[in-house]
Amino acid sequence: MAQKNLKKGLLITFEGPEGSGKTTHVRLLCEYLRKKAFKVLLLREPGGTLIGEKIRRILLEPKNKKMNAVCEMLLYQAARAQLVREKVLAALEQKKVVILDRFLDATISYQGYGLGMDIAAIKQIGKLATSDLEPDLTILLDISAKEGLRKLGRLDRIEKRPLSFHRRVRRGYLQLARENPRRIKVVPLSKDIARTQSAIRKIVDKKWRFRI
Ligand code: TMP
């Protein structure tokens, strides 16, 4: 399907607990879509802009032990606000497929379910940060918290949190998937990369048929 056939931009987000293999699968999906002649923009959160990458460093620096939960949540949303306005909205306007490695669901799962912050408040601030933008599709790569953490090398400030935190994050994601079954598709992570990627591509292809 050629780029010219796309009626509007498409926003696909990837989510998942630590060690869920997002980076690999985002890259593989990007290659797949580009081969199909789609114009694809791949971005990550927090980051994707000069300002966002600076915010990312502050958020993930293990030395920033004193960071308050409210500060943390607002910094994630601040990076998001910048990314949406600097890159995402323009790319969607140009009918590109935007693939985001994490979005608002991550703040609901990590700072809401994980840290116990008020989810209604996170969603409210999220509406402002995202300019009310909702993904067309969210791929939730699912892996148990324990298994996911086992795969990591040097840990950043968030990854260093106890297993109980990461278990709440995962439960949060699965809860979001139950609440948004049309948007969020859960893909259990298989050890076989090709198998997981094939499941993702099937979901995306199905979504295409609705959009073009
Ligand atoms: P990444 O490892 O997927 O690049 O994400 C960076 C870390 O930030 C990861 O531990 C998840 C965490 N995170 C949050 O806690 N809240 C958020 O809103 C986002 C986007 C990420």
Domain regions of the chain by residue span: 10-208
210 CA distance to ligand 1 centroid (A)? 30
DSSP class of 40? E
Residue 19 tokens read as: 């060690």
138 CA distance to ligand 1 centroid (A)? 15
CA 106 to chain centroid, in Å, comes to: 6
pLDDT at 131: 97
Peptide bond into 188 cis (omega under 30): no
DSSP class of 212? -
116 CA distance to ligand 1 centroid (A)? 16
Q: What is the mean pLDDT of the chain?
A: 94
Q: Which atom of ligand 1 is nearest to the CA of 114?
A: 15
pLDDT at 212: 44
Specify the CATH architecture of the domain 10-208.
3-Layer(aba) Sandwich (3.40)
pLDDT at 167: 98
Mean pLDDT of 191-209: 92
Query: Ligand 1 pocket: which residues have CB below 6 Å?
Result: 18, 22, 44-46, 76, 101-102, 106-107, 110-111, 158-159
Assess whether pLDDT exceeds 80 at residue 191: yes
- Residues β-bridged to residue 204: none
Dump pLDDT digits (tens) for 133-182: 999 999 999 999 999 999 998 999 999 999 999 999 999 999 999 999 99
pLDDT at 208: 76
- Percent of the chain's residues with pLDDT above 70: 96
DSSP-assigned letters across all residues of 119-164: HHHHHHHHHHHHTT---SEEEEEE--HHHHHHT-SS--TTTTS-HH
Mean pLDDT of 116-127: 98
C-alpha to C-alpha distance for 142 and 162, rounded to whole angstroms: 19
Contact yes or no for 145/163 (Cβ under 8 A): yes
Q: What DSSP element (H or E) covers 188? A: strand 184-188
Contact yes or no for 111/122 (Cβ under 8 A): yes
